[in-house]
């Protein structure tokens, strides 16, 4: 874990070799997260795990010195990128208007999962934007859990919170999102 943090800090300092090493160290793990995200999202778009991982790193390196400083910040960033990539794919699919707007997506919470179509996914995105204004840490939790595909235990480890605290935050987040979607 320390090795990744050191590489992140070195890459943040402009060390291109550290950025390349970071990419190779995390590549398989990020491909696994992207594969899991695509599987959860029905894989209905023309996305590939390789494209998601490479786009994530391109955005990271083009950030102009804004490389995340630690693992939690890094995974938060990856969650944001995966959210962005998935939503862009949904918007593109809907724009084609060839009947491809039925996108199925389910939040993985252990509670009965309801598939979301493209319109509902866009409503979720709007609700996440509203949630970011109300409680940014809860929006980050959605990006870590849902879009980056981390488990409660992994979020707990990265954030330093207890597993039970993360579970409570996750339940609270789901309720707030449901309310924000209904109000939206």
pLDDT tens-digit profile of 71-124? 788 788 888 877 887 777 777 777 665 554 444 444 544 434 445 666 777 888
Statement: residue 184 has pLDDT above 80: no
Element (H, E) at 33: helix 16-40
pTM: 0.55
Q: Predicted confidence band at 181 (pLDDT cuts at 50, 70, 90)?
A: confident
Q: How far apart are CA 53 and CA 34, in angstroms?
A: 7
CA distances in angstroms from 84 to 3, 19, 65, listed in the order given: 28, 22, 20
Would you list the domain boundaries of the chain?
2-183
Which of 112, 103, 168, 179 minimizes the C-alpha distance to 141? Answer: 168
pLDDT tens-digit profile of 151-160? 899 999 989 9
Amino acid 51: pLDDT: 79
Collect all residues with Cβ–Cβ distance below 8 Å to 70 and sequence separation of at least 6: 5, 8
Q: What is the mean pLDDT of residues 1-23?
A: 77
- % of the chain surpassing 70 pLDDT: 76
Amino acid 119: pLDDT: 74
Compute how many other C-beta atoms are within 10 angstroms of the C-beta atom of residue 123: 17
Amino acid 64: pLDDT: 53
Statement: residue 132 has pLDDT above 80: yes
Q: Predicted confidence band at 141 (pLDDT cuts at 50, 70, 90)?
A: very high
Q: What is the mean pLDDT of residues 17-39?
A: 81
Higher pLDDT, 66 or 166: 166
Amino acid 43: pLDDT: 57
Q: Rounded mean pLDDT of the chain?
A: 77
């Amino acid at each position: 874990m320390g090795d990744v943090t050191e590489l992140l800090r070195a890459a943040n300092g402009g060390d291109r070799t550290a950025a390349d090493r970071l990419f190779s160290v995390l590549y398989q793990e990020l491909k696994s997260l992207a594969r899991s995200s695509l599987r959860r999202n029905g894989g209905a778009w023309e996305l590939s795990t390789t494209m998601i991982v490479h786009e994530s790193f391109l955005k990271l390196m083009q950030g102009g010195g804004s490389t995340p400083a630690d693992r939690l910040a890094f995974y938060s960033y990856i969650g944001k990128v995966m959210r962005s990539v998935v939503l862009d794919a949904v918007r593109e699919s809907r724009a084609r208007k060839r009947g491809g707007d039925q996108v199925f997506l389910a939040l993985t919470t252990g509670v009965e999962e309801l598939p979301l179509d493209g319109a509902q996914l866009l409503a979720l995105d709007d609700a996440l934007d509203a949630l970011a204004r109300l409680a940014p840490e809860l929006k980050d939790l959605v990006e870590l859990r849902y879009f980056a595909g981390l488990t409660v235990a992994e979020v707990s480890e990265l954030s330093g919170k207890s597993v039970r605290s993360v579970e409570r935050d996750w339940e609270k987040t789901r309720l707030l999102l449901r309310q924000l979607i209904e109000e939206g």
